[in-house]
A and B are shown apart, each in its own frame.
Chain A
Amino acid sequence: GAVVSQHPSRVICKSGTSVKIECRSLDFQATTMFWYRQFPKKSLMLMATSNEGSKATYEQGVEKDKFLINHASLTLSTLTVTSAHPEDSSFYICSARPQSSYEQYFGPGTRLTVT
């Protein structure tokens, strides 16, 4: 149980375009989902906390207009990187927290490359 999927697993886009990444909890309902960013051989950086039906809470230094987060249902959160630039290239990982637990389950990640 407690499986989280992400789609796509890899995406290459041109500078200036927008990319949407989906995060789904497959076998549980997640009131809270989290979005992280990870650079090669570096640690995870929490970008934002997403609660179903309300606005996401962004960490300091993360541009909310650039990284749009929508948590439309208890099993789906999306991250849209708007007007992507090469410096946005990174590994984006989501995690989901079941309603009855404080544990987090991570998705497999999405590798974004902006050319």
Chain B
Amino acid sequence: GQSLEQPSEVTAVEGAIVQINCTYQTSGFYGLSWYQQHDGGAPTFLSYNALDGLEETGRFSSFLSRSDSYGYLLLQELQMKDSASYFCAVRGPYGQNFVFGPGTRLSVLP
């Protein structure tokens, strides 16, 4: 079957660094995406890894290890507005995010 695992909740304070892990087990893997979703809103793209290693985009970085079927999203210098749900998603051959993780709800405290 297809499955992704993420922690359900993470809490951190403003200015801190937080890492959200994602492990996956899928048939067919073409890359791992990360999305942010605020309550009631649509997902917005954060980062994408097709190859092993670290991708950095401002305060957000994402890492992938295909041999370990593992990736993580790293959020630095946390801000209150970062409080949201974060989803990892596995991409298929046509670019479709065909499996989303269960999501991690991040709460940033003052």
Question: Which residues of B lie under 8 Å from residue A44 when comparing CB positions?
Answer: 43, 87, 89, 97, 100
Question: Which residues of A lie under 8 Å from residue B44 when comparing CB positions?
Answer: 106
- Measured between alpha carbons, how far is A103 from B46 in the docked complex, in Å? 11
Across the interface, do B100 and A107 meet the contact criterion of CB distance under 8 Å? no
State the main secondary structure of chain B at its contact with A: strand
- Taking CB atoms and an 8 Å cut-off, the chain A residues in 64-103 that contact chain B are 93, 95, 97, 101-103
Interface residues on A, range: 20 to 34
Across the interface, do B97 and A108 meet the contact criterion of CB distance under 8 Å? no
Per the CB 8 Å criterion, the residue count for chain B at the interface is: 22
Say yes or no for B103: interface residue by CB 8 A criterion: yes
Of B31, B94, B102, which one neighbours A43 at CB under 8 angstroms?
B102
Centre residue among B35, B87, B89, B95 by max chain A CB count within 10 A = B95
Across the interface, do B94 and A32 meet the contact criterion of CB distance under 8 Å? yes
- Give the shortest distance, in Å, between B26 (CB) and chain A (any CB): 12
Across the interface, do B103 and A93 meet the contact criterion of CB distance under 8 Å? no
Additional A-B contact list (9), CB under 8 Å, known A45-B100, A101-B95: A32-B95, A34-B96, A46-B98, A95-B97, A102-B31, A104-B45, A104-B95, A106-B43, A109-B42
Which 6 A/B pairs are nearest by Cβ-Cβ distance? A102-B95, A106-B42, A44-B100, A43-B100, A108-B42, A106-B43
